[in-house]
Amino acid sequence: METPKNRNLKICQIGAGLIGRERIKAVQQLAQAGRNVELCAVHDPFLKTRPDALRDLPFASSLEEVFSLAPDWIFISTPHDEAARLTKLALAKGFNVLVEKPMGRNLREAEDIAASQIRQDQLYIGCNYRFYDGISAALRDLAQKKFGRVISVSMMLGHGGNPKDKEGWKLDPQKAGGGVLIDPGIHLLDLCQCIFPGGLEVGSAFGWRGFWQTGIEEEAHALMRSGDSIVNLQLSVVKWRSTFRIEINGEDGYGIIEGRGRSYGRQKYLRGQRWGWMAGAGQRDTEEMVVDTDGDDVFQKETEALLFGDVKDLIRPCSGREALASMELLDRCREQLK
């Protein structure tokens, strides 16, 4: 989107929970850095009391008030069931929308959201894993074919969790739309689409449920293929030790990303060459540390790219079209899971 000249972009934030506050902070950080952007309102009908961090922010009492402010963008960070309804309303009114992943709770809902757009490039989805420094560096390396022909990609995302998880909405099949395949799995499916834009064939998917007893899959494994490249996904909310790892294996070398910040540990991206040990050192000693980061700026990077980024940049925010393709891939995985 072209930035209006001589004025700030106005952002309205709907939802002020964990992720909503990250979006608010990202907008504030961009404004402090001199970007032409301002937070014109926050709306959250479920917020009973304002925490100190939000106390001085402008609040809108209703969705109608949000619309009346004529924002350039509406950011939606609510549970999945509410997000779908709010996104369709905002799109139909003509607003640009960034909604947190996923794009609906199922493929039909995603298609309904897409159909609510009244122009192209009106909708973007918050698939911010693209903007972790280690992941974006690996995506650039893949584009430059630094690993040679890709043999396989393995991704593992396991949530450690806590005893209160069952009280939250993410284990509610109605509110969340399913289990780990959709959340957090849609993040990895999005990365698969980034790596293999030509599409993927789903070979098999298996799920496990039984600890939380809410009806969702709590662990899922999926095996896919793009051409002769193999993709292996492992997702879990019963991992007990928060785990994030991506391995890219190519004919000429490999990349390993480990960690996602916070309880997952710092994100480190290592790059290695095939038979690096032939230079006279152990293979691990020949690996290059490309990125070592805490990942705390991922929301700011994604928000900045959305509002001010170069559309020709390789690492771009996830468009509605791309998100719909990921939902189609999710649907194929779910068919195998049955």
Last residue of a domain, one of 78, 104, 129: 129
Task: Based on the fold, state whether residues 279 and 234 are members of the same structural domain.
Answer: yes
Mean pLDDT across 318-322: 98
Residue 97, token pair as written in the block: 């929308």
Last residue of a domain, one of 92, 112, 129: 129
Domain containing 125 — which CATH number? Answer: 3.40.50.720
Does residue 305 fall inside a structural domain? Answer: no
CA atoms in the 13 A half-sphere facing the CB of 145 = 2
Last residue of a domain, one of 74, 94, 129: 129
Q: How many domains does the chain contain in total? A: 2
Q: Could you read off the pLDDT of 17-42 as tens digits, one per residue?
A: 999 999 999 999 999 999 999 999 99
Task: Based on the fold, state whether residues 136 and 172 are members of the same structural domain.
Answer: yes
C-alpha closest to that of 313 among 122, 98, 119, 131: 131
Identify the domain containing residue 56 by its residue range.
9-129
The whole model's pTM is what? 0.95
Does residue 309 fall inside a structural domain? Answer: no
In the sheet with 123-126, reading across from the earlier edge strand, the strands are 37-43, 9-14, 73-76, 96-100, 123-126, 318-319
Task: Based on the fold, state whether residues 101 and 139 are members of the same structural domain.
Answer: no
Task: Based on the fold, state whether residues 327 and 232 are members of the same structural domain.
Answer: yes
Task: Based on the fold, state whether residues 76 and 194 are members of the same structural domain.
Answer: no
Task: Based on the fold, state whether residues 249 and 186 are members of the same structural domain.
Answer: yes
Does residue 104 fall inside a structural domain? Answer: yes
Q: What is the pLDDT of residue 46?
A: 84
Q: What is the pLDDT of residue 299?
A: 98
Task: Based on the fold, state whether residues 68 and 163 are members of the same structural domain.
Answer: no
Cα–Cα distance, 293 to 310 (Å, whole number): 24
Task: Based on the fold, state whether residues 49 and 160 are members of the same structural domain.
Answer: no
**What radius of gyration, in Å, describes the C-alpha atoms of the chain?**
20
Does residue 123 fall inside a structural domain? Answer: yes
Does residue 238 fall inside a structural domain? Answer: yes
Q: Could you read off the pLDDT of 195-248 as tens digits, one per residue?
A: 999 999 999 999 999 999 999 999 999 999 999 999 999 999 999 999 999 999
